[in-house]
A and B are shown apart, each in its own frame.
Chain A
Amino acid sequence: MALVEQCVPRKQSPGTTLLAAEVYSIDSPRHGVLCMNKPRMIVGIKWVPNTQAVRFDPKTGTLIREGVPSIVNPHDLDAVELALKIRERYGGEIIAITMAPPPAEEGLRHIIGMGVDRAILVSDRAFAGSDTLATSYTLAKAIEKIGKFDIVLFGQETIDSSTAHIPAQVASWLDLPYIYYVESIEEVELEKNKIVVKRKLEDRYEWYEVELPVIIGVAMHSNPPRPISLTSKLRAVTEKPIEVWTNKQLELDPRCIGLKGSPTIVSKVTWQPEIPRKRKIYKGDPREAVKWLIKQLEDERVLP
């Protein structure tokens, strides 16, 4: 019950006005209170075209993107799930943030449906055409505007571009420590201002103790997401927990955002040249087919 006593009414806390020295977190808005010593988490989300549904038009030589549904990047759902697990264990608040055109609100409703407390859609035509430097800059500035936070979680990479740049770049803009490939957060010790995370590399597990706040890349397939709950999803309608921030709110220099703020540009797009292959195909009885195959592989001298 001690935790309840530490809570103060939420209306006293616009967040950003609190002293930086205060370690605090806002409990779920459902509880309407601000609590000390509970982690405040931000989860970065990307609204991506479902690459599995993208088809190719051989006549026009272009990708058919029309009618391709967009989804929340599946690897981000692992990050949402990990944040939800932390909230279950330690309390606290989870805020989702995405930089995307307005239709991405649908994705944020999905995340709210999983149980995230509130969401911010950073959306402005001025942000269009951003590369990873400009995207991470805009996200970092939006995260700063949220106020104090303890942990920022991103999916390790996205299915559409899979660069894995954003977590490190946001960490660089915010001058914060960062850890990639995190599978779990083993301990949260807000009073000591640190957490312990476990990550997996090719040949080993590593445990790190990290100072807060920290930026985390959550390993792919590490935290299978829970299903959406209808009660949570209804909140998206009744409580309107999704805010839209344009560049009017963020007031970023136009030279630092969108196309202008992107050092890299796409200069042209061509076909991926194919590797020439022999394309010999056998149809028929499996035994004969295998005999044929073994003969070919022996001729190629590739069998051990």
Chain B
Amino acid sequence: MATRKRVNCDELCPEWGCTQPSEYRGVWVVGEVEESEGIINEPSLQMLTPASYIASKLGTEVEGLLVGYDKKLLERAAHEMIYHGASRVRVLLSNKLKPYIAEVYARTISQIIDKHKPEVVFFPATMKGRELAPYVANTLRAGITADCTQFDVDEKTGDVLMIRPPFAAILLAYIKTPTRRPQIGTARPNVFPKPPRDPSRTGEIIWEDEKLYSIPSPRTRLVKVEYMRREEIPIEKAEYIVSGGRGVGTPEGFKLLEELASLLGGVVAGSRKAVDLGLIPHEKQVGQTGKAVKAKLYIAVGISGAAQHVVGIRECGVVVAINKDPDAPIFKHADYGIVGDWREIVTELIKALKDRRQKTS
């Protein structure tokens, strides 16, 4: 599906410069490495799923892009991208990229994209991805669509459809970028599954020539880092989640949820209401303005089930809802629901799980 359309340069904002969509080819995923763990992160690999789909529709290939300063780590990350579906990975290695500074990385990535002109660029919407992608898009004067939940191709024009829930998460908006390339999109972690890993897959690793790019000197200096002690798994990685909402109401209520969660070997999360009430920190919020989760078992307690919330549990295996209101929308988004007083039910559930544990051990 070749893009033949021509853009009339006189109609474009002069600040954009003028390029033709036909000059661009290929689908890129910008990968993100976790220096402290020495690996490429899951959300980057997950982006290879929509990238492969779009590339096959456009009749082109998936390429990865990695920039950084740790050669071994980048090489390992490049291989992982290939094992998960990239045909080729471009890597820019430079000491000037140490440490990570958003502005420096964003300007460097922009230059590499501008040189090779991919048609589509995907970023994972991790915290770093969310700060890099808009700067890159703006520097290229390209369109960007954040937090997509699906991607597709408009068969007539060859434009990529960036599909995202606007506003209240009940509807889906199909957003396209007819005149500008690359088309840039992001998706939150866990919105797409990671492609299967196939270590027999081969692909080319291209080490970009540092001299071809002007890596800017930072105007920002990292002066101190303090790692937080992580006693528990972050909600986006948890297999068992007990999630509380306005119905749970109090810190004591959340204590009970924590007891249930620890029996399951899982974590506590919550709705936006729970965050607004100060019952849980924002990083434990599930939903459109929080995180998408992919738990095996998600237990929603006292959560009414607004569209903004349930958009975050689409990738969960089994969803259980406990709510006193039989008409609460959460029951439509649950596999199993219990109508009743959440405190009584959770207390019973804790008892039952303890009994079960004694029986099985």
Residue positions of A touching B, CB distance < 8 A: 49, 51-52, 54, 56, 63, 131-133, 136-137, 157, 159-169, 171-173, 177-181, 196, 201-211, 217, 220-221, 253, 255-256, 260-275, 277-284, 286-287, 289-294, 296-297, 300, 302-304
Cβ A277 vs Cβ B333 within 8 A: yes
Q: How far is the CB of B317 from chain A (nearest CB, A)?
A: 6
Cβ B352 vs Cβ A294 within 8 A: yes
- Across the interface, name the chain B residue whose C-beta is closest to A166: B134
**Interface SS of A by simple majority:** mixed
Q: How far is the CB of A165 from chain B (nearest CB, A)?
A: 4
Given known pairs A63-B167, A201-B127, A267-B175, the reply for A51 and B308 (CB within 8 Å) is: yes
Q: How far is the CB of A100 from chain B (nearest CB, A)?
A: 16
- Across the interface, name the chain B residue whose C-beta is closest to A208: B220
Given known pairs A164-B134, A279-B335, the reply for A266 and B220 (CB within 8 Å) is: no
Given known pairs A255-B11, A264-B144, A264-B176, the reply for A283 and B348 (CB within 8 Å) is: no
Q: How far is the CB of B285 from chain A (nearest CB, A)?
A: 9
Which among A179, A263, A269 is the interface contact of B173 at CB below 8 angstroms? Answer: A269
**A248 CA to B58 CA, complexed, in Å:** 44
Flag whether B69 is at the interface (Cβ < 8 A).
no
**A126 CA to B297 CA, complexed, in Å:** 49
Flag whether B203 is at the interface (Cβ < 8 A).
no
Q: Which residues from chain B contact A300 at a C-beta distance below 8 Å? A: 317-318, 335
Enumerate B119-154 residues with CB–CB distance to A below 8 Å.
126-128, 130-135, 137-139, 141-147, 154
Q: Which residues from chain A contact B141 at a C-beta distance below 8 Å? A: 133, 263
Cβ B146 vs Cβ A164 within 8 A: yes
**A278 CA to B316 CA, complexed, in Å:** 13
Interface range on chain B: under 10, 10 to 19, 20 to 34, or 35 or more? Answer: 35 or more
Cβ B147 vs Cβ A282 within 8 A: no
Cβ A161 vs Cβ B331 within 8 A: no
Cβ B228 vs Cβ A203 within 8 A: yes
Cβ A132 vs Cβ B282 within 8 A: no
Which among B172, B223, B265 is the interface contact of A269 at CB below 8 angstroms? Answer: B172
Cβ A270 vs Cβ B145 within 8 A: no
Enumerate B322-352 residues with CB–CB distance to A below 8 Å.
326, 331-341, 344-345, 347-349, 351-352
How many A-B residue pairs have C-beta atoms within 8 angstroms? Tell me: 275
Chain A to chain B contacts (Cβ below 8 Å), 28 pairs = A54-B167, A131-B143, A133-B144, A164-B131, A164-B134, A169-B134, A179-B220, A210-B220, A211-B220, A253-B15, A255-B14, A260-B11, A263-B16, A263-B177, A267-B174, A269-B173, A269-B174, A275-B314, A277-B334, A278-B335, A281-B337, A283-B340, A284-B340, A290-B338, A293-B349, A294-B353, A297-B318, A304-B240
**A202 CA to B356 CA, complexed, in Å:** 35
Q: Which residues from chain A contact B212 at a C-beta distance below 8 Å? A: none
Which among B103, B320, B338 is the interface contact of A177 at CB below 8 angstroms? Answer: B103
Which among A132, A221, A267 is the interface contact of B176 at CB below 8 angstroms? Answer: A267
Cβ B175 vs Cβ A265 within 8 A: yes
Flag whether B206 is at the interface (Cβ < 8 A).
no
- Across the interface, name the chain A residue whose C-beta is closest to B264: A304
**A304 CA to B174 CA, complexed, in Å:** 40
**A204 CA to B16 CA, complexed, in Å:** 37
Cβ B103 vs Cβ A256 within 8 A: no
**A282 CA to B326 CA, complexed, in Å:** 10
Cβ A302 vs Cβ B297 within 8 A: yes
Flag whether B296 is at the interface (Cβ < 8 A).
yes
- Across the interface, name the chain A residue whose C-beta is closest to B186: A163
**A261 CA to B16 CA, complexed, in Å:** 9
- Across the interface, name the chain B residue whose C-beta is closest to A62: B171
**A160 CA to B173 CA, complexed, in Å:** 13
Cβ A255 vs Cβ B219 within 8 A: no
Q: Which residues from chain B contact A253 at a C-beta distance below 8 Å? A: 13-15
Q: How far is the CB of B249 from chain A (nearest CB, A)?
A: 17
**A1 CA to B106 CA, complexed, in Å:** 44
Flag whether B224 is at the interface (Cβ < 8 A).
yes
**A282 CA to B143 CA, complexed, in Å:** 48
Given known pairs A168-B138, A278-B336, A279-B334, the reply for A266 and B326 (CB within 8 Å) is: no
Cβ A272 vs Cβ B169 within 8 A: yes
Cβ B127 vs Cβ A178 within 8 A: no
Which among B13, B138, B171, B219 is the interface contact of A172 at CB below 8 angstroms? Answer: B138
